[in-house]
Structure formats: structure tokens, C-alpha cells
Amino acid sequence: MNRFFLLLLFTNLFAQVPDNYYDSANGLDGETLRSALHDIIDNHDSKSYSSLWTHFQSTDQKSNGKVWDMYSDIPGGTPPYEYTFITNQCGNYGGEGDCYNREHSWPKSWFNEAAPMNTDLFHLYPTDGYTNGMRSNLPFGEVSSASWTSQNGSKKGTMDAYGFSGTVFEPIDAYKGDFARTYFYMSTRYYNEDGSWDNNEMVNGADLKSWAVDMLLDWHEADSVSQKEIDRNDAVYDIQNNRNPYIDHPEWVACVWAECETGTENIPPTAFAGQNQTVLIGAIVYLDASASNDSDGSISSYLWEQITGDAVTLSTYNGEFSSFTAPTISTSLTFKLTVTD
């Protein structure tokens, strides 16, 4: 009887934070915490603009080897197009899907295209060139009436919320937290180093306008830190020798820009994907994460990823339960389950 071996690998969300890295920030809040974090992450190893093409291969590579473009990606679904590193870098473009370029999520015109901001990987991402061009140097926001929508659902249009009215660019919900924590990083890394920076609708130098703080706090809360961000934080640290503290310590966002919750320490949830399974070829295989738990809260998201073996299609990549049809050959598959609180 033909069988194949299915190995389920489960993991928790942990970053590779160096020992004692944040010691000088512990117990602080407000501007004092922001200042202390600035001193910790200041003076990073600045890289050349041309080297970003190479660094993106370490910081923004999907599990299938393609470019992780947050302006075209559809988490848990099929993106409208994908890019191959180096081969598909811009160049000229005439529409979506032509090439990818280097997106300054905090637009470079806001800091006069100066170093070291212009190559700081914590706010630079590989994105579709055309979508990047449509965004231009617009502030991020929440579109109430769209004038243009990308193939993954990112929007350009007018906003009338949080006390702000104007034209904005809105990323999809799945990446709003990523961009929020990017902006909190920029506002901290360049704290009091922003003398020549722009004063515009969203920022005054490195300081966020009050409506932007309110919106980004909501984005941060609604879209919690993902494994993608944790891995990227570690990768950027290896390249430029500093970290985004709001990925390592999401609770510090509130401590700086809202009200710090004292007396509680988040305990990471425990992921459990069950035991190894041996099943018949061609059978339906069920993945069950219901035994995962969070001792001090509740689990907000699940992510199933195939790590090794012949590729299979899961019924869902973001649910507590998933399933797939086993390959018709004898083989071994490995899956990873990530849970977040």
C-alpha cells in the first residue's frame, strides 16, 4: 500500500533580539521612551542606493523566491502578478505588472532625498513601479472615494476621516500594520534629526500630525506584527545594524503615542499543529490548530505555510483549520503553523 509521510512543524513568533539591546529603554514612556529608542537605533550602517536591489533579496523574499511586493500581494490568495529579483527591476513601466522598484514608503521628498534616510531599509520596500508612481508622495490614509484601485486592492483617492480631508493612498488591510510600524520607526529613528524635513499634511519633520497618529494607532492595533515583519526586522538588522523597536515591542507604540499599559507583559501564544501523520496517497489531509492557546489573551490569526515537499494547495492559509489533497506519490511534506495574539 502506497503511503506518504506528512510532518507538521509548529512555531511561535520570536525575534532574534540581541541581549541587552533595549535595556536603556525599559520602564520608560512618552517622549522619554522615544528619545531612548532613538539613541539605541541611531547611527545605523547606511548602504548605497544601488545596493538595495541586492538587499531586497534578503529582506523581502517570499517563500516561493519571488519579490514580496505589498502593493500587489494578496495574502492567502493568488497575486495578480509576481516579480523575479533583478530580472524584473525597473526600468520603464506602462502599467501594473511591468517591473518593481524601490519605494520610499516615507516619501523621499519629505526629507529632501537626503542620506541616510534615502537608503534606510526600514522604510524602503520593493513594490510595483506603476503603483508606486500612482502613490507618488501622497500620505497614507483611508480612501472614502477611490479615483484608482490597484489589482490587489490598494487605492488612491479622497479621504475624509480622523479630522483630515485630502488625497491619500491606502494599502490593503493586511499590510496597514506594517506601514504603521514603519512610520513609528521613522518618527523615532530621526527624532530631532529632521531640521530640513518637510511640513506637510501628514508630518511635520519626523513628527506625525495628530490625525496620522490616531489612524496609524488603529492600523497598528488591527494588523498585529506578522512573521514577515519579524523576519524582515532580523534581516535588516544583519544589513544595517539597527532594529525597528515597534516590531520587537509592539506595546511601545502605545507607550510613546498613547497611554502605556503598565503591569502587564504579553506572553506569546503557543502554536500546536498536532502530531506527525502518515496517510494514504491521494487522501484528504486535515490540519488542525485548535489546540493552540494564548494564556493571557486570545489568538487573532493563524498562518499555515508549506516548508518542504511537493507543493500542495491548502483550502485556506489563514484559518484555524485547513486541508489539502495528498500527492499521488510517496513523499514527505513539512508545514509550519504560526499563531499571533
Asked whether residue 18 is domain-assigned, the answer is: no
Q: Is 275 found in the same domain as 246?
A: no
Q: Are residues 104 and 250 in the same domain?
A: yes
Domain-located, residue 19: no
For 167-215, write each residue's pLDDT tens digit: 999 999 999 999 999 999 999 999 999 999 999 999 999 999 999 999 9
Q: Note whether 235 and 213 are same-domain residues.
A: yes
Instruction: Report how far residue 179's alpha carbon sits from residue 162's, in angstroms, rounded to the nearest whole number.
Output: 17
Does residue 215 sit in the same domain as residue 304?
A: no
Q: What is the per-residue pLDDT across 31-58, written as a single tens digit (0 to 9) for each?
A: 999 999 999 999 999 999 999 999 999 9
User: Total domain count for the chain?
Assistant: 2
Regarding whether 226 and 177 lie in a shared domain, the answer is yes
**What predicted TM-score, i.e. pTM, was given to this entire model?**
0.78
The answer on 272 and 253 residing in a single domain is no
Instruction: Verify that 210 and 243 share a domain, yes or no.
Output: yes
| Extended beta strands in the chain, E state | 3-11, 100-104, 124-128, 145-149, 155-161, 164-170, 203-204, 207-208, 277-280, 284-288, 301-308, 321-325, 332-340
Co-location of 139 and 249 in the same domain: yes
Query: Is residue 21 domain-resident?
Result: no
More confident residue, 92 or 12: 92
179 and 79 co-located in one domain: yes
Residue 22: inside a domain, yes or no?
A: no
Output the nine-digit C-alpha cell for 60: 523581502
User: What CATH number corresponds to the domain at position 305?
Assistant: 2.60.40.10
* 17 part of a folded domain: no
Inside any domain, residue 246: yes
Domain shared by 303 and 230, yes or no: no
One domain, residues 77 and 97: yes
Domain ranges, residue 45: 30-257
Domain identity same for 71 and 198: yes
For residue 121, what are the CA distances in angstroms to 67, 102, 235?
Answer: 15, 10, 10
Mean pLDDT of 265-290: 78
